[in-house]
């Protein structure tokens, strides 16, 4: 007797036919919890792939709203989301459930921070990185090590990207490789641009690694993959698991998760402003930073600071790594603006 039509042509039928997944792998996916931190270009693909693959519960965390300049690369969102000023996590939940009502999708509008990181990822089978700044990634790395959760890193800018899987029981961890967050004035997609194929390709590799892990496959030794979609080049480097002594995170010192490192945001009393201190081992090149910021608005300053006026906000960057964001008392908003326009 022929198999029932719903089996032959069911939602996951083609995925079940793929040998490494099969029926058992599909069942594993249906019991999994995936946390996607950040829902921009990377997070859009990551969350959509997980939901469409039938992962039982997908939690999407993002602090920003949908803006028009997101639409060329952030595939979940629409012009209507821009018109309504919808938070990305809220819009993601709505669009993802429209694609697959059989799974649970939880959109959380929040700044991923030391205050909420453990609560938001506890119980996760894997964490997927859709972030746009290194400070938040160090928090992900800390909480993943502390709770023993595997996470998949991805980064994309211009036409280049890279990705890697970090397991709590293997070295190196993310901080082993990166040591500390880049200094103030680092490049971001908002300052040097990005073409859509870059995050889409990086996120595809992240998603494939996540599915492989969730169905129970060993992904092999640690490695870092670099790509340039414009040049159509890929390079994979295997990472030696030894020789990473001295990493505080591997030693159980979770400085970013505990708030001892990072931007140390603080509200300025009565000023509707937030100050962030981004430690730097060298003075910021304010002249270079000011030239780049002029693309976005009026910039003033001197040898000690650069001031960008941006709509209802003002961002003042100082040579010692301090940044003051005026026009908000919300540290999450301040961090978002600094990550986008100044780089951290």
Contact 92, 141 (CB under 8 A): no
Q: 266-342 adopts what CATH topology?
A: TATA-Binding Protein (3.30.310)
Residues 6+ positions from 254 with CB-CB distance below 8 Å? 142, 143, 145, 146
Residues 6+ positions from 336 with CB-CB distance below 8 Å? 63, 64, 111
What value, to the nearest 5°, has the Cα angle with vertex 254 and ends 238 and 251? 60
Per annotation, catalytic residue among 39, 173, 176, 189:
189
Residue 11 confidence (pLDDT): 93
Strands (E), 22-150: 33-37, 57-62, 104-109, 126-129
DSSP state of 68: G
Greatest alpha-carbon span in the chain: 81
176 is catalytic: no
Q: What three-state secondary structure class fits 70?
A: helix
Residue 150 confidence (pLDDT): 98
Residue 279 confidence (pLDDT): 56
Residue 223 confidence (pLDDT): 94
Candidates 138, 160, 130; CA nearest to 58 is 130
Helices (H) and strands (E) counted in the chain, each on its own, are: 13, 14
285 token code pair: 């090149």
Residue 205 confidence (pLDDT): 98
- Per-residue burial over 173-193, b if 16 or more Cβ lie within 10 Å, else e, is bbbbbeeebebbbbebbbbee
DSSP state of 2: P
This prediction has a pTM of 0.79
Residue 3 confidence (pLDDT): 44
243 token code pair: 């020789």
Angstrom distance (rounded) from CA 182 to CA 128: 21
Give me the tens of pLDDT residue by residue for the chain, a chain 344 residues long: 444 444 556 999 999 999 999 999 999 999 999 999 999 999 999 999 999 999 999 999 997 888 898 999 999 999 999 998 888 999 999 999 999 999 999 999 888 888 899 999 999 999 999 998 788 899 999 999 999 999 999 999 999 999 999 999 999 999 999 876 555 445 677 667 899 999 999 999 999 999 999 999 999 999 999 999 999 999 999 998 888 888 999 999 999 998 766 656 666 555 688 878 665 555 677 888 888 888 888 888 776 778 888 888 888 887 767 788 888 888 888 888 888 888 75
Q: Where are the domains of the chain?
A: 31-238, 266-342
Superfamily grouping for domain 31-238: NAD(P)-binding Rossmann-like Domain (3.40.50.720)
Name residue, tokens 């890193």: 153
Candidates 266, 267, 262; CA nearest to 249 is 262
């Amino acid at each position: 007797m022929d198999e029932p039509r719903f089996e032959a042509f069911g939602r996951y039928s083609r995925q079940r036919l793929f040998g490494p997944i099969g029926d058992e792998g599909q069942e594993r996916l249906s019991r999994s919890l995936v946390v996607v931190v950040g829902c921009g270009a990377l997070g859009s693909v990551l969350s959509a792939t997980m939901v469409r693959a039938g992962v039982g519960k997908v939690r999407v965390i993002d602090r920003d709203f949908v803006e028009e300049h997101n639409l060329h690369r952030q595939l979940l969102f629409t012009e209507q989301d821009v018109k309504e000023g919808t938070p990305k996590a809220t819009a993601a939940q709505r669009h993802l459930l429209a694609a697959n009502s059989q799974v649970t999708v939880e959109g959380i509008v929040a700044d991923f921070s030391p205050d909420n990181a453990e609560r938001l990822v506890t119980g996760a089978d894997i964490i997927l990185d859709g972030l746009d700044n290194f400070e938040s990634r160090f928090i992900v790395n800390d909480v993943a090590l502390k709770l023993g959760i595997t996470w998949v890193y991805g980064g994309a800018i211009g036409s280049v990207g890279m990705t890697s899987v970090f397991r709590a029981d293997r070295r190196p961890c993310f901080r082993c490789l990166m040591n500390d967050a880049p200094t103030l004035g680092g490049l971001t997609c908002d300052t040097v641009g990005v073409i859509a194929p870059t995050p889409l390709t990086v996120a595809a590799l992240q998603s494939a690694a996540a599915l492989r892990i969730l169905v129970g496959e060993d992904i092999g030794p640690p490695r870092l993959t670099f790509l340039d979609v414009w040049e159509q080049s890929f390079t994979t480097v295997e990472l030696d698991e030894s020789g990473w002594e001295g990493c505080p995170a591997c030693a159980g010192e979770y400085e970013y998760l505990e708030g001892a490192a990072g931007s140390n945001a603080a509200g300025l009393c009565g000023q509707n402003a937030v100050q962030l201190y981004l430690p730097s081992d060298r003075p910021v090149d304010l002249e270079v930073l000011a030239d780049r910021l002029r693309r976005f608005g009026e910039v003033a300053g001197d040898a000690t600071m650069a001031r960008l006026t941006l709509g209802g906000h003002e961002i003042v960057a100082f040579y010692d790594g301090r940044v003051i964001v005026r026009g908000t008392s919300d540290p999450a908003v301040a961090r978002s603006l600094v990550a986008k326009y100044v780089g951290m």
